[in-house]
Amino acid sequence: MEREPSRLELFSDAVFAIIITILILEIKVPEAEGSELWHELALQWPQYAAYVVSFLVIGVMWVNHHTIFGHIKKVDRPLLFLNLMVLMIVAVIPWTTALLAVHLGNPESARIAAIIYSALTVVYAVAFLCFWWYVTRVGHLFRDNVDKDGARATRMRFGLGSIAYPITLVIAFFSAPLAVAAHAIIAIYYAFNQIPIPLIIDDRVPAEDA
Amino acid sequence: MEREPSRLELFSDAVFAIIITILILEIKVPEAEGSELWHELALQWPQYAAYVVSFLVIGVMWVNHHTIFGHIKKVDRPLLFLNLMVLMIVAVIPWTTALLAVHLGNPESARIAAIIYSALTVVYAVAFLCFWWYVTRVGHLFRDNVDKDGARATRMRFGLGSIAYPITLVIAFFSAPLAVAAHAIIAIYYAFNQIPIPLIIDDRVPAEDA
Amino acid sequence: MEREPSRLELFSDAVFAIIITILILEIKVPEAEGSELWHELALQWPQYAAYVVSFLVIGVMWVNHHTIFGHIKKVDRPLLFLNLMVLMIVAVIPWTTALLAVHLGNPESARIAAIIYSALTVVYAVAFLCFWWYVTRVGHLFRDNVDKDGARATRMRFGLGSIAYPITLVIAFFSAPLAVAAHAIIAIYYAFNQIPIPLIIDDRVPAEDA
Amino acid sequence: MEREPSRLELFSDAVFAIIITILILEIKVPEAEGSELWHELALQWPQYAAYVVSFLVIGVMWVNHHTIFGHIKKVDRPLLFLNLMVLMIVAVIPWTTALLAVHLGNPESARIAAIIYSALTVVYAVAFLCFWWYVTRVGHLFRDNVDKDGARATRMRFGLGSIAYPITLVIAFFSAPLAVAAHAIIAIYYAFNQIPIPLIIDDRVPAEDA
């Protein structure tokens, strides 16, 4: 039974790195010749938009995953399994991205694709909350400097933060481009703002104001 | 000649991470337009089922691989070669998964695909047992805290545990969906239960009941 | 909030490793039979050229990324985000490479493909300069042995060095093969020459003249 | 300028791990339905053979790469560049493997594919010898426990060992299956036998006879 998180973290990091990089494999190379190529490249804008948004979305998911593991010192079986669930869901994003990219040109199919794209992020949010719920339930896996009660208290805020994903799902029923834009905004917001995990004593060198 | 397992473990982890992540590349993006897309997405259920099952199957294989390496302190040539054999077999799973996914709709082809899918896991079990047999034979590669006689005694239980895979092969001759379900059940079972490797003194912090 | 660069570096390294390796996936396997196969293989020379050049280009980008992180001891949110931007751009190179490879045979389409290929490297240079600008602005993320004022002074030289990329863009408007050759020359030049980051005291073992 | 090999080794390991794992992506999933599927699967034997042989070939290349880096304590620019050359060549193997797999059914095309497959391994051997030549030339990058004169003396044996690859190239002109078999034999031979790098004092725990 594995107990130190470093290898699980490395494995998860590798999975995230692969997911974020294979996004590009889903963008087709246009074959038109001559100046017609400009036109065909321009028609591919939904693919470029989907690529950028998904890259940011996965990037933020990686940062979240990473932040939590920075506070964990032990790994047990349920955590291993919950982590595998999270990875299994995130690994589907290149597929929902391709689905979105292929269909963003046709309004009706785009709506369906955006619904599925958003639904997957909702499933991710649920899995991630289960993960966080388990980690904070007893707090037996935390590093010593984590304020366990404080961490448990963040559950509600984490949960509220995750409401952003169901909202994109609702938006997707009306407009695919708006849903994609919402995902981009959420990703950029979370890239700069994150619910901090409370520490008893922050004994590490502060990164700001050094 | 390499002697410390850390790099071999890292290499193996990377291979497992790639295998588990490229599973998604085998699921095609449906091209139907309008509400027809819902229909086509629904028809793809065998691909989704195959994805989930294989993700769990590979996840459990990774955990097993990982657990053993957590008890190894040295690597020699035969181990290196046996490890390469295990990886070579696991790396085929994305292909057997795609085979299963493509053919799960047609009962006769599905049986063939399920037979091959299950047969590969049997080959994996054999390779993994060879690996474990070699490691426990002398026990010269184990960390000091491993109970070598106890580890050798687990061979039989490991072997019995591996019977689950041939059973799925037998089931596959009768029904592909049942064989897939059996693989899912085995993976979930092993995600929570595993034959422990006996330690003389477990000097690491216990993960449970802390 | 993550503060040590090691995991970010590992994640970035994995992304670079994947990008550089999936380049080969874009080269099609010719299907012609008999001695006709020689002919078809020979016709693929643009794909081989594009592969070699992009491998070198990404290799140099990795070295640059790597060198900077060797001098960083802390990571904050903006750095994380800027790093993600750099990776998002580099990850597009397999696609621009495939675009170039497919179109290098037709002069008009080749020009367009080379323009896009070069334009992406310009975008990369801008993102990389933003990254370096941020790192050197305060220097609060540097290791202690970095000469912060000296590092800040390299900005201009880094910026001048990056002019090489816009030059390839200008060349691309006239000739795709010349633009590709320019990229190859730049990559080989930077493989052996790099703007050093000034250290107060270089306390590490010198690699040359040992 | 990077000076410690750990990150370069990690990057190289990741590249090797990806190369060895994407081999499977080149094997097509047969689409025939019913019992016709057995037949089509059987017809794919060249693809399976090519997969197994290339997996072993890359595995041995990884071990060689790995062994050398186990004796290196510093990295300089030329080494970085030579290493990139080696990786660039190895990364082409999935493509030569696919070429071989596609054409192994037709004797004339198979010969051509086998010639290219073998030629690439010859190019690899040359690049690897350049790499080893550079490392042993001065020996300034070696760990302290490496016998530099002894290491330099292995060059000839390394070179002789590499003659195996040109021999497969000669064989390929006559018979593709024989050339493939030769590659398999060489890989298995090198998996168990390797030219040792002489150490002054081997201060590490011996892996055998412990």
Residue extents of the structural domains in chain A? 5-26+36-192
Q: Given this model, what pLDDT does residue C208 score?
A: 41
pLDDT at residue D120 above 90? yes
In angstroms, what separates the C-alpha of B55 from chain A's closest C-alpha?
Answer: 7
Give the residue-averaged pLDDT of B16-29.
92
Q: Given this model, what pLDDT does residue B178 score?
A: 93
Q: Given this model, what pLDDT does residue D70 score?
A: 79
Q: When comparing pLDDT for C5 and A81, which is higher?
A: A81
Give the residue-averaged pLDDT of A78-97.
93
Give the residue-averaged pLDDT of B53-67.
90
Nearest to D108 among C35, C63, C192 (CB): C35
In percent, the amount of chain C with pLDDT more than 70 equals 89
Inter-chain contact A74–B210, Cβ cutoff 8 Å?
yes
Inter-chain contact C21–D25, Cβ cutoff 8 Å?
no
pLDDT at residue C58 above 50? yes
Give the residue-averaged pLDDT of C196-202.
62
Measured from the Cβ of residue D23, the count of other Cβ atoms closer than 10 Å reads 22
CB B52 within 8 A of CB A95: no
Q: Which residues of B touch A99 (CB under 8 A)?
A: 29-30
Give the residue-averaged pLDDT of B135-158.
75
Q: Given this model, what pLDDT does residue C144 score?
A: 73
**Which pairs count as long-range contacts for C82-87, CB under 8 Å and 24+ apart, including other chains?**
C82/C127, C82/C130, C82/C131, C82/C134, C83/C8, C83/C12, C83/C131, C84/A55, C84/A56, C84/A59, C84/A191, C85/C127, C85/C130, C85/C131, C86/C124, C86/C127, C86/C128, C86/C131, C87/A20, C87/C12, C87/C15, C87/C16
Enter the ipTM.
Answer: 0.85
Q: Given this model, what pLDDT does residue D205 score?
A: 44
Inter-chain contact A34–C109, Cβ cutoff 8 Å?
yes
Q: Given this model, what pLDDT does residue B201 score?
A: 55
Show which residues on chain C lie within 8 Å of chain D, measured between beta carbons: 9-10, 13-14, 16-18, 20-25, 27, 29-35, 37-38, 41, 51-52, 55-56, 59, 62-63, 66-67, 70, 191-192, 194, 196, 204-205, 207-210
Inter-chain contact C17–D18, Cβ cutoff 8 Å?
yes
Q: Which residues of C touch D112 (CB under 8 A)?
A: 35, 37-38, 41
Nearest to C24 among D2, D94, D140 (CB): D94
pLDDT band for position D152 (cuts 50, 70, 90): confident
Q: Which residues of C touch A50 (CB under 8 A)?
A: none
Q: Determine the residue type at B161.
A: G
Inter-chain contact A11–B9, Cβ cutoff 8 Å?
no
In angstroms, what separates the C-alpha of B197 from chain D's closest C-alpha?
Answer: 21
Inter-chain contact B15–D13, Cβ cutoff 8 Å?
no
In percent, the amount of chain A with pLDDT more than 70 equals 89
CB D18 within 8 A of CB C17: yes
In 3D space, the residue among C143, C156, C148, C158 whose CA is nearest the CA of residue C194 turns out to be C158
pLDDT band for position D195 (cuts 50, 70, 90): low
- Beta carbon pairs, A and B, within 8 Å: 101
Looking at A172-176, B172-176, C188-192, which range is the least confident one?
C188-192
Inter-chain contact C30–D98, Cβ cutoff 8 Å?
no
Please tell me whether the overall predicted TM-score, pTM, comes out greater than 0.95 for this model: no
Looking at B30-39, C200-209, D9-18, which range is the least confident one?
C200-209
Strand partners, D33: none
For D25, nearest residue in chain B (alpha carbons): B95
pLDDT at residue B125 above 70? yes
pLDDT at residue A207 above 50? no
pLDDT at residue C141 above 50? yes
In angstroms, what separates the C-alpha of D110 from chain B's closest C-alpha?
Answer: 24
Q: Given this model, what pLDDT does residue A196 score?
A: 66
Q: Given this model, what pLDDT does residue B88 score?
A: 96
Q: Given this model, what pLDDT does residue A92 score?
A: 96
Q: Given this model, what pLDDT does residue A155 score?
A: 73
Give the residue-averaged pLDDT of A184-201.
75
Range with top average pLDDT, A73-87, B119-133, B196-210: B119-133
Give the residue-averaged pLDDT of D91-110.
91
Q: Which residues of B touch D33 (CB under 8 A)?
A: 103, 106, 108-109
Inter-chain contact D207–B7, Cβ cutoff 8 Å?
no
Q: Which residues of C touch A207 (CB under 8 A)?
A: 1, 3, 74-76, 140-141
Q: When comparing pLDDT for D153 and D96, which is higher?
A: D96
- Model confidence over A21-72: pLDDT tens digits? 999 988 888 988 888 899 989 988 888 999 999 999 999 899 888 888 888 8
Q: Which residues contact C152 (CB under 8 A, 6 or more apart)?
A: C136, C137, C139
In percent, the amount of chain A with pLDDT more than 90 equals 41
Best interface-test mutation with A: which of B63, B64, B146, B197 has the largest number of A CBs within 10 A?
Answer: B63
Give the residue-averaged pLDDT of C145-159.
73
Average pLDDT, chain B: 84
Token pair, residue A12, equals 């998860």
Question: What is the biggest distance separating any 2 CA atoms in chain D, rounded to whole angstroms?
Answer: 64
Inter-chain contact C84–A59, Cβ cutoff 8 Å?
yes
**Which pairs count as long-range contacts for B67-71, CB under 8 Å and 24+ apart, including other chains?**
B67/A1, B67/A2, B67/B194, B67/B197, B68/B131, B68/B132, B68/B135, B68/B197, B69/B5, B69/B8, B69/B9, B69/B12, B70/A2, B71/B142, B71/B143, B71/B146, B71/B151, B71/B197
